[in-house]
Amino acid sequence: MNKLTAGADDPVRYAGLARMAEVAVAAVTHVPAAGLRSPNRGRSPVARARQTAMYLAHVAFGLTLTRVGVCFGRDRTTVRHACAVIEDSRDDPARELGLCALEAGLRALTGSLALAARAEVR
């Protein structure tokens, strides 16, 4: 069984989904992915990018706050705060459009990867 078709309780799958959100946000914000994984908060743009990646991992992929916290090296309450901050920022139309685009792109990518993995199994 490969990583994409692994069971729902596969921690490697969770980590892969979190990394996809992280890389997508890093590409859009021009913040290095390594900065998002830093144990320190970092400057405001880094913290905001990390919050966005955590939010997308939770919303786009349905990872629990606890799972997202494990993947990003944060406590679930920190993830809850990040999700609240990003959700509140969706009042800005430009931010809403960007988040919708990232979310749709991540879902489409994981869907096509899952299809490709199923085709390989056949």
Q: How many domains does the chain have?
A: 1
Q: What is the pLDDT of residues 98-116, one digit of tens each?
A: 999 999 999 998 876 665 5
Residue 27 is assigned to a structural domain of this protein: yes
- CATH of residue 112: 1.10.1750.10
Burial class of 76 by CB neighbour count within 10 A (0 to 12, 13 to 18, 19+): middle
- 8 Å CB contact between 25 and 52: yes
- 10-43 burial, b if ≥16 CB within 10 A, otherwise e? eeebbbbbbbbbbebbbeebebeeebbbeeeeee
Q: What is the pLDDT of residues 58-79, one digit of tens each?
A: 999 999 999 999 999 999 999 9
Residue 36 is assigned to a structural domain of this protein: yes
Residue 88 is assigned to a structural domain of this protein: yes
Residue 38 is assigned to a structural domain of this protein: yes
What residue numbers bound the domain in which 21 lies? 11-121
Rank 2-6, 10-14, 111-115 by mean pLDDT and report only the highest. Answer: 10-14
Residue 99 is assigned to a structural domain of this protein: yes
Residue 5 is assigned to a structural domain of this protein: no
